[in-house]
A and B are shown apart, each in its own frame.
Chain A
């Protein structure tokens, strides 16, 4: 793929690789005897592999294509394949973690395989590995199409994609070694955080520069969601990770905040990671791929603008609902609760907008599993945002907080909404990018859909049951005013639901494996599409689009 870079671009890529290799070497040498040293070795190896690919192309002739007539889809393709790889890894880890809760012997007595270490591998693997790569890849696709402009630059999209994956690998390997700064969804230590800031700023600049080249007067709404995702995640990430390293040669650092300020900062980050990483970016996907697949414009474009600004300005204040009944001032808790309830309006506006778009195309939803993925995703988006607003109410939270109900809620959103919209988008974009007639097997898509839906429903119902039982047992008192149940009693009550949860997760994982296989077979074996007119994108010699038969 590096052959499509010009000579100058290949040199820039090589320079970046050399700088990275140097950084890796310094980290490995300075951090000897500390996990940072191992991370240095990982950076060095990653730089070495990238250097190999760049060097292989460096002597090749200059690319002949005319860059003014087509989109640049190579990084998108790579990103989608990497996203599916992370899906299998991250969800596989999830099934293992779930199984450990049901059958603790599955830890096999190793330090690295303990629950506290592999759970963040699961969460980061699915959120950042699967979700993040899918967001980056689809954002490259959507920003080019909606702007009618090619990506601004050819090295920076690769830098963002590969740099982000280096962050993911450093994060996941760090968890297994016990590296964590104990902030949920922000576990990686200071040097990984600094690296992500660099990658993320390049990403934002790339997006803005591509939009600046656009040939459309209006910036389509999907781009607003993607930009909110990139910009706000940058702000959240920088503020929440403000920390002082204990030493420059070790992984350990100390947060710049303390006590309740630290907790508030973390949950301002944590809830907005849900809002801007797991919602805004995926709404960008929804607003592009659902109308596209249904071949109908979005039901109300005006409503989409309204819900965009509603989501952006309400969500940012909702984080304090994670800290009900804590040392956080009561009015800040109430503020978070109020904004969480108000969030229902823009959330349901988006979900309703998506479903109304399908009005008149329900026969397509019935026949086309890809569109059905997106439809069910919109339904789960509506359901889980309602549940979220409900759970943020202080009285409800007193029952639900710290129980499996929260876990069930998160997974209704992450599996039912985020993963389903992503799989729908992948199935609709893969044949297009690789110029295939359809996916390799529509039956496998259909199987995946039902496995994913069944897995999600089993998972969510298991956690509702488990969570509510758990919450009620925790607050049951005897006549003499003591707790009626010991902690072990609650564990015994939860066990059957933990088994059910592991089964639901296994179904969902099976679906993801089918997706990875189907995409691989589509790339390798599906028949090529012979379009009525040549794609302007397919011509190396920059011929104008003519009827294909001539």
Chain B
């Protein structure tokens, strides 16, 4: 099957639309999932004092 202009534009206008909507919903759900709040707060605060490593 040839990758014609019509086919490319069909994919862009159908699949492209729905996968981006699904992605947006998925990421919003992940970012605002209530039980992840503590992990995000910890991450946000983790950079404030990071010169004393534990390193490896």
Contacts and interface: CB of A to CB of B under 8 A. Distances in A.
Contact of A535 (B20, B43, B51): B51
B35 interface: no
Nearest to A146: B47
A217 B41 CA distance: 13
Given A148-B50, A216-B43, A221-B43, A313 B20 contact: yes
Given A288-B47, A291-B47, A68 B9 contact: no
Contacts of A144: 55
A329 B20 CA distance: 22
Interface string A420-435: 0000000000001000
A305 interface: yes
Contacts of A305: 27, 30-31, 40
A71 B53 contact: yes
Nearest to A335: B12
Contact of A215 (B12, B40, B44, B54): B54
B55 A149 contact: yes
Contact of A68 (B42, B52, B56): B56
Interface string A352-385: 0000000000000000000000000000000000
- From B5, B30, B32, B44, residue with most partner A Cβ within 10 Å: B44
Contacts of A306: 27-28, 31
Contacts of A216: 43, 46
A149 B48 contact: no
Contacts of A297: 41, 44-45, 47-48
B51 A432 contact: yes
B47 A148 contact: no
A235 interface: no
B40 A217 contact: no
Interface in B1-49: 5, 9, 12-13, 20, 23-24, 27-28, 30-32, 37, 39-48
Contacts of A298: 44
A145 interface: yes
Given A302-B40, A309-B23, A331 B46 contact: no
Contacts, number: 89
B47 A301 contact: no
- From B23, B46, B47, B52, residue with most partner A Cβ within 10 Å: B47
B46 A220 contact: yes
A145 B50 contact: yes
A70 interface: yes
B6 to A, nearest CB: 11
Given A291-B44, A306-B31, A329-B9, A218 B51 contact: no
A307 to B, nearest CB: 9
A69 interface: yes
Interface string A463-506: 00000000000000000000000000000000000000000000
Contacts of B52: 536, 545
A375 B35 CA distance: 32
Name the 9 nearest CB pairs between A and B, nearest first: A297-B44, A301-B40, A145-B50, A218-B43, A301-B44, A305-B31, A309-B27, A302-B31, A306-B31
Given A221-B43, A306-B31, 13 more contacts: A71-B55, A146-B46, A146-B47, A146-B50, A292-B47, A301-B40, A301-B41, A302-B31, A313-B20, A432-B51, A536-B52, A537-B51, A537-B53
Interface of B: 5, 9, 12-13, 20, 23-24, 27-28, 30-32, 37, 39-48, 50-56
Interface of A: 68-71, 144-146, 148-150, 213, 215-218, 220-222, 288, 291-292, 295-298, 301-303, 305-306, 309-310, 313, 329, 331, 335, 432, 535-537, 545
29 contacts: A68-B56, A70-B53, A70-B55, A71-B53, A145-B47, A148-B54, A149-B55, A149-B56, A150-B55, A215-B56, A216-B43, A216-B46, A218-B46, A220-B46, A220-B47, A222-B47, A292-B48, A297-B45, A301-B40, A301-B43, A302-B31, A302-B32, A302-B37, A302-B40, A309-B23, A313-B23, A331-B9, A331-B13, A335-B12
